[in-house]
């Protein structure tokens, strides 16, 4: 196992993605340490606020990680406090990189999770890493700013950046679209309010995403920015049909104009060519399979 005897640090370990990344890194032989802002009694966990530079320095010195997966972020686009996006996603990330740089322990790699939101939703077709960025909200702007800031450290630290497209799975909060849909079907709800259901999006299963992350840590594409996506799109209408088929339940779909984004691109798809060139053949389960897993669990 390539991580045998080594230490991994996951920031935001108690978030949706963190649990899955921790399991995958453990399976690869790493001893996994977690960083989070809330108290927890789990083993090898440190409660540290990324805005507390001094505590962060102490945590890095204590753990002495060989790899870091930086997931900690304000991730929900509809989060009400714009300042929080910049404080956590930009300043918090800078504090982390500064603490790592100050540490005497050499690192193999740092994965910084950005977001495909940096591309915006005004360009259709298949989006590659060379597609011009066009962030349309504070979340996306903060993630792009984080990318630029991280590049300032690229000559000093072994950094690479991932841009995941939509991904989902058991445990994702139901203020995200597919978990919201799943929740309504599990509860046999009579009705759901949605935005435009005739839009096509690229969805990845969180279990496949974490395998891609760990494979990237093994390959160490330092200095690179890499899309993590399926390269296949499904419409929200198809997702509804899959849920109906799996559960045998149908509900009324009401389109709420407040949920419809103006000038929204009908089809957004990621290009995973670069990812597969780095880690080899990689696939995500079909969306119907992921939705079935979500409907049966959690």
**What's the Rg (C-alpha) of the chain?**
19
Each domain of the chain, given as residue ranges in start order, spans 7-169+204-231+268-284
- Looking at residue 118, the DSSP 8-state letter turns out to be G
pLDDT reported for residue 76: 59
Alpha-carbon dihedral angle through residues 278, 109, 111, 267, given to the nearest 10 degrees: -10
- Top pLDDT among 255 and 109 is at 109
CATH of domain 7-169+204-231+268-284: 3.40.50.720
- Mean of the per-residue pLDDT values for the chain? 93
- Alpha helices in the chain, H assignment, sequence order: 16-27, 53-63, 82-86, 93-102, 138-151, 177-186, 206-219, 236-247, 273-279, 287-296
Contact 2, 28 (CB under 8 A): yes
Given a cut of 80, whether residue 201 has pLDDT beyond it is yes
Lowest-pLDDT choice from 9-23, 55-69, 246-260: 246-260
Which residues have a Cβ under 8 Å from the Cβ of 218 and sit 6 or more positions away? 2, 28, 279
**Entry pTM:** 0.95
Confidence of residue 182 (pLDDT cuts 50, 70, 90): very high
The mean per-residue pLDDT over the stretch 71-76 comes to 77
Confidence of residue 78 (pLDDT cuts 50, 70, 90): low
Nearest to 268 by CA among 218, 233, 242, 227: 233
The mean per-residue pLDDT over the stretch 169-192 comes to 95
């Amino acid at each position: 196992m390539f991580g045998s005897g080594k230490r991994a640090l996951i920031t935001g370990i108690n978030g949706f993605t963190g649990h899955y990344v921790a399991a995958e890194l453990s399976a690869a032989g790493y001893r996994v340490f977690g960083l989070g802002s809330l108290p927890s009694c789990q083993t090898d966990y440190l409660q540290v606020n990324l805005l507390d530079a001094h505590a962060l320095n102490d945590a890095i010195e204590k753990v002495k990680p060989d790899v870091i997966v930086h997931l900690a972020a304000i991730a929900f686009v509809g989060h009400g406090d714009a300042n929080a996006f910049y404080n956590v996603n930009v300043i918090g990330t800078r504090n982390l990189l500064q603490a790592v740089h100050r540490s005497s322990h050499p690192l193999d790699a740092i994965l910084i999770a950005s977001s495909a939101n940096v591309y915006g939703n005004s360009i259709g077709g298949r989006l590659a890493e060379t597609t011009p960025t066009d962030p349309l909200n504070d979340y996306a702007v903060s993630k792009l700013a984080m990318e630029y800031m991280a590049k300032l450290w690229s000559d000093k630290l072994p950094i690479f950046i991932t841009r995941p497209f939509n991904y989902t799975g058991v445990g994702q909060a139901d203020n995200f679209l597919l978990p919201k849909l799943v929740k309504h079907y599990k509860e046999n709800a009579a009705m759901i309010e949605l935005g435009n259901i005739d839009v096509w999006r690229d969805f990845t299963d969180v279990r496949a995403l974490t395998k891609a992350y760990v494979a990237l840590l093994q390959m160490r594409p330092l200095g690179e920015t890499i899309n993590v996506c399926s390269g296949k799109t499904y419409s929200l209408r198809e997702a509804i049909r899959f849920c109906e088929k799996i559960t045998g339940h149908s509900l009324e779909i009401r389109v709420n104009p407040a949920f419809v984004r103006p000038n929204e691109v009908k089809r957004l798809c990621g290009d995973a060519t670069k990812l597969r060139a780095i880690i080899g053949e990689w696939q995500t389960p079909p969306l119907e399979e992921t939705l079935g897993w979500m409907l049966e669990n959690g």
